[in-house]
Amino acid sequence: MTRNASAAGARGASGTRRWVLWGLLVALIVGLLAMLMWLAARYESSQVQDLLDRDAAEAVSDVRSRLLRNVQSLQALQSRNQEPSGRWSAQAATILREHQELLRIEWRDRALATLAQVDTPYRTPLFDRLGRANAQAEVQLACSNAQRASGPAYSASYFVPQGDGLGLQVMELCLPVTVEGAHGGYLVATYGLNEMLSEMVGRQLVRNQDVMFTEADGTRLAFHGLARRGNRAYSGRQLMDLPGHTLVLRLDNWRDGPDLFPNFLTAMVAAMALALVSVLVLLGRDTRRRLRAERSLADALAFRKAMEDSLVAGLRARDTLGRTSYVNAAFCEMVGFSVQELLHPDLNAPYWPPELAQEYRQRQLGRLAGNTPPREGFESVFMRKDGSRFPVMVFEAPLIDVQGRQAGWMSAVLDISEQRRVEELSRASQERLQATARLATAGEMASLLSHELNQPLAAISSYATGSINMLRDTGGPDNVGLIIQALQQIAEQSQRAGRVIKSVHDFVRRREQVHETIAPGQLVEAIMPLVTLQARKLLVRIQITLEPDLPAVRCDRTMIEQVLLNLARNAMQAMDCPGQGLRSMSLEVRRAVNGDRESGLHSWTEFSVADTGPGIPGPVAEKLFTPFFTTKPEGMGLGLSLCRTVVEQHGGTLTFETDPAHGTVFRFTLPTAAIR
């Protein structure tokens, strides 16, 4: 019984504490609601009061602006009229019609005697009932202040009774009048305070609030506005300091109460009720969301681990101190160490080769100091657990945490041992291909030599045959001279054949050609003996045209002579066909068309070889420069291809134009000696 009573007492004490806590919570919520309502009311009241103060300041600004404009109008009236007249009265009446706040305008002399006056047309004359003398004191005070200040001055406001049992609160404005630099009297204007409020204060300011003039002690002088409404008053006062007098402009605003309270209170009560009812629901939903989030996180971790285990690349993460914090299964398999062996506080990793450990340590310290690794990665060497070395490619990037801060470095490591083996096989294959290419080059050189030496050897044979025939004849000294000339030609053509062999050999080896400065005419003269022999055999007439004062060209002399010889021989052979009429070949050397003839700066020299043959058919023209393509039974198809290669090596171009009616023209350009 005692134990049960103790348990019941404990439960009762716990329940009491719970209810006390709930009571405190309710009291706190009620106090919070009351404070919020009070603060909202204060805020709305301050907003209304601030708006009313701004409106009062704006109204005072409007009145002052209108008063200033009226003073300017009155000054303009007086400056246009130096003495009272009908014209002055008409202009004053115009001002009164335009400004309803002005009730009367008077011109008085220096003794304040009235010289002329005009009353407003909008009401009966102001001083008809009691006369103007009752307000003389106010006029005298205002004019004294105006005389003293040499400017406009206002009198204190005073009440003028009217015949309808009512009256007007008016105020005098006095302006000193100057006639030819001397004091000439005063201009007195009478303002109605009620009219000032209705005419000078903006209509939007008096639409929903009352506006009035009061004395400094709060006595109301003039009033304009609607009837009072509402039970809560807001008042804004603004001092209007005029020369000689001070008024207070007051704005009153009447409201029933803050409009925000009912909506705000309803919203707060509904929100608190929903909050109190929904606490348990929200807690339950939060618990379920947490469970779902935990399951999703577990699934994401399992998915990430499965994805990392399936990668071939090794992944390694290091913290800002350089310690390895994570490795995947591929990295462990790559180096042969377990995860426990790789995750250790030592900065020296177990997969670093001992002879490279110092270099790797320096590189890691530089990385920790902020040196950004190259995005394309870098090569390194790792060591397996059995001590064997293998090359790797390492890609590193900053490891950023959820707060956007760098928490270390993430590395992707690729084993490139197989790639290196494939590259070694590729190098071996490349060497074999180069050996094959050298053999093909040797065959190409042999073909070119056989192609290019045909004409020098044919010339040697012709000269030798001629010499033998001359020796058989029993001629005189003339035959001896011809024999000597023929033998000289044989020697020259033999030397030419040697130069051809050397030049073609250098060309095949792709060495840098030896360029020399030579006149274009010398290149033409060097090939003329062989061209002449071929022309005699084929009955071709040769025409040589050299433009005067041609600049020298820079070229490999032997190779350019071979180009000219090949083009000339091809031109003559193109005309060796049945039915060919006139056989004529022209060789022309001139400045290139794109040269600047006026300034004398000619960068290129053009060589052209033209024939009168049948031209080149379209299908043949498309493959004309293709190696090993030929239309001659005994040709090898290397001449034009090598000619174009030689010209392009000199920086020029080789082109052709063909026309069945006029033959074919081959042109190529060479740089002049001025081009280095």
- The per-residue pLDDT for range 105-148, each reduced to its tens digit, is 988 888 888 888 888 888 888 887 777 877 788 888 889 888 88
Q: Which long-range contacts (CB under 8 A, 24 or more apart) does 35-39 make?
A: 36/264, 36/268, 37/261, 37/264, 37/265
CA 313 – CA 331 distance, rounded (Å): 7
Question: 477: pLDDT confidence band, cut at 50, 70 and 90?
Answer: low
Which of left, alpha, beta for 633 (phi over 0: left; psi -120 to 50: alpha)?
alpha
CA 671 – CA 648 distance, rounded (Å): 11
Tell me the two tokens of residue 46: 């301050």
Give the three-state DSSP class for 317.
Answer: strand
The mean-pLDDT minimum among 178-182, 192-196, 630-634 falls in 630-634
**How much is the pLDDT for 438?**
45
CA 472 – CA 625 distance, rounded (Å): 47
CA 29 – CA 487 distance, rounded (Å): 131
Q: Decide the pairing of beta strands 232-242 and 324-327.
A: unpaired
**Per-residue b or e along 215-226, where b marks 16 or more CB atoms closer than 10 Å to that residue's CB:** eeeeeebbbbbe
End-to-end CA distance of the chain: 122
Give me the amino acid identity at 584. S
Question: 332: pLDDT confidence band, cut at 50, 70 and 90?
Answer: confident
pTM, full prediction:
0.39
**How much is the pLDDT for 138?**
86
- Report whether pLDDT(81) > 80: no
Concatenated DSSP letters for 404-468?
Answer: S-EEEEEEEEEE-HHHHHHHHHHHHHHHHHHHHHHHHHHHHHHHHHHHHSHHHHHHHHHHHHHHH
**How much is the pLDDT for 676?**
43
Q: Decide the pairing of beta strands 604-610 and 654-659.
A: unpaired
Phi first, then psi: give them for residue 336, nearest 5 degrees. Answer: 85, 5
Question: 1: pLDDT confidence band, cut at 50, 70 and 90?
Answer: very low
More confident residue, 330 or 4: 330
More confident residue, 599 or 586: 586
Kindly state the percentage of the chain with pLDDT values over 70: 72
Q: Exposed, middle or buried: residue 565 (CB in 10 Å: 0-12, 13-18, 19+)?
A: buried
Phi first, then psi: give them for residue 17, nearest 5 degrees. Answer: -60, -40
The mean-pLDDT minimum among 85-94, 322-331, 627-636 falls in 627-636
Give the three-state DSSP class for 162.
Answer: coil
Mean pLDDT of 425-431: 68
Tell me the two tokens of residue 191: 């303002």
Q: Decide the pairing of beta strands 406-415 and 314-319.
A: antiparallel
Q: Decide the pairing of beta strands 102-108 and 114-119.
A: antiparallel
Closest by alpha carbon to 152, among 115, 195, 194, 189? 189
Q: pLDDT tens, 211-225?
A: 888 888 878 888 887
Give the three-state DSSP class for 187.
Answer: strand
**How much is the pLDDT for 19?**
62
β-sheet bridge partners, residue 189: 105, 173
Beta-carbon contacts of residue 588 (< 8 Å; ≥ 6 apart): 544, 545, 546, 607, 608, 610
**Per-residue b or e along 47-86, where b marks 16 or more CB atoms closer than 10 Å to that residue's CB:** ebeeebbebbebbbeebeebbeebbebbeebbeebeebee
Give the three-state DSSP class for 42.
Answer: helix
**How much is the pLDDT for 583?**
81
**How much is the pLDDT for 580?**
66
Give me the amino acid identity at 102. L
**How much is the pLDDT for 597?**
41
Mean pLDDT of 230-245: 80
**pLDDT, mean over the chain:** 77
**How much is the pLDDT for 437?**
44
Question: 260: pLDDT confidence band, cut at 50, 70 and 90?
Answer: very low
CA 77 – CA 116 distance, rounded (Å): 13
**Per-residue b or e along 355-366, where b marks 16 or more CB atoms closer than 10 Å to that residue's CB:** eeeeebeeebee
Q: Which range, 33-42, 200-209, 477-486, 543-552, is most confident?
A: 543-552
More confident residue, 418 or 26: 418
Closest by alpha carbon to 59, among 248, 255, 253, 246? 248
Contact (CB, 8 A) for 391 and 399: no
Closest by alpha carbon to 674, among 522, 530, 538, 554? 554
Q: Decide the pairing of beta strands 584-591 and 541-546.
A: parallel
- Report whether pLDDT(541) > 80: yes
CA 60 – CA 226 distance, rounded (Å): 20
Concatenated DSSP letters for 643-673?
Answer: HHHHHHHTT--EEEEEETTTEEEEEEEEEBT
**How much is the pLDDT for 345?**
63
Kindly list the distances between the CA atom of residue 408 and the CA atoms of 310, 320, 368, 540, 629, in Å, as whole numbers in the listed order: 24, 5, 8, 86, 65
Kindly list the distances between the CA atom of residue 505 and the CA atoms of 96, 239, 443, 508, 559, in Å, as whole numbers in the listed order: 120, 113, 12, 5, 11
Q: Which domains, from first to last, does the chain contain?
A: 58-255 (3.30.450.20), 311-415 (3.30.450.20), 431-511 (1.10.287.130), 513-676 (3.30.565.10)
CA 157 – CA 167 distance, rounded (Å): 13
**How much is the pLDDT for 599?**
40
Concatenated DSSP letters for 50-71?
Answer: HHHHHHHHHHHHHHHHHHHHHH
Strand arrangement, sheet containing 314-319: 324-327, 314-319, 406-415, 389-400, 378-383
**How much is the pLDDT for 667?**
93
- Report whether pLDDT(650) > 70: yes
- Chain-centre distance of CA 2, in angstroms? 86
CA 293 – CA 578 distance, rounded (Å): 97
Closest by alpha carbon to 562, among 660, 668, 480? 668
**How much is the pLDDT for 670?**
92
Q: What share of the chain is helix, strand, coil (3-state, %, to 5)?
A: 50, 25, 25
Beta-carbon contacts of residue 55 (< 8 Å; ≥ 6 apart): 205, 209, 236, 251
More confident residue, 492 or 353: 353
